Homo-oligomer: A and B are copies of this chain.
Amino acid sequence: MLQALELLAVLAAASFGLLLARSKQLDLVGVCCVTFLVAFGGGTLRDVLLDRQPLFWIEHEHYAWIVFGIAIAGSLLPRLPRRLERWLNLPDALGMALFSIVGAGVAIRTETFPVSPFLASLFGVMTGTFGGVLGDIACNDVPRLFQPTMTLYATCSWIGCWVYLLLRGTSLGPDVALWSGTVTIVLLRLAAVRWNLRLPATRA
């Protein structure tokens, strides 16, 4: 079950990378690089900042093959389905949720030095959402995650990470915590898309 979800998470993230790269009319090289960056950027940043070696996509190499395959196949398609972005809402919510909770769990279980729940929650958000941020920066856009036009995304991730981290310490066990956190994020994210929930812009 978790394996299938992880695969879905990587697939959804890679598809968003593909969409971004094609909207910028990059070539095959650009599509591959941006797809890798969006799919693996958040987790790689977490691993580098927490000094975890090897990186998750070096340890689980099949992820790298899958993303590479999506990028190549996705470059060769003459056109992407028009509604791809809308179809991706649910898999993306699932993927972002799973990446966030796994990221927070990896951070809180760091063995070489203590990481507090507060910092672990930030690492969870980073794992779940920073692939897209790095992709936007590489494609010369202000990251959509930072902008008020974006429906709630990092906020859903952060709340779910706290649900996971707080339940983890109770007698309910790690599985209940993991699934509660994941479901919280998915429901919040789908609600944000459905009712177009956003944070207001700040002013200079």
Contacts and interface: CB of A to CB of B under 8 A. Distances in A.
Interface of A: 19, 21-31, 33-34, 44, 48-49, 51, 53-55, 58-59, 61, 64-65, 75, 78-80, 112-113, 115-116, 118-119, 122, 133, 137-143, 145-148, 150, 153-155, 198-204
Contacts of A51: 51, 53-54
Contact of A28 (B19, B33, B113, B199): B199
Contact of A75 (B48, B142, B154, B202): B202
A146 B113 CA distance: 36
Given A27-B146, A30-B147, A118-B64, A204 B113 contact: no
Contact of A146 (B33, B58, B78, B154): B33
A22 B204 contact: yes
This chain's copy number in the assembly:
3
Contacts of A133: 33, 138
Contacts of A154: 29
19 contacts: A22-B202, A25-B201, A26-B142, A26-B148, A26-B201, A29-B145, A29-B154, A29-B155, A29-B199, A30-B143, A30-B147, A31-B202, A33-B133, A51-B53, A53-B113, A54-B112, A138-B142, A139-B142, A140-B141
The 7 closest A-B pairs by CB, nearest first: A30-B146, A27-B199, A27-B148, A54-B113, A23-B204, A22-B202, A51-B53
A27 B119 contact: no
A203 B82 CA distance: 12
A176 to B, nearest CB: 28
Contacts of A203: 22, 25, 78-79
A141 to B, nearest CB: 7
A119 B54 CA distance: 12
B198 A27 contact: yes
Contact of A26 (B55, B58, B153, B202): B202
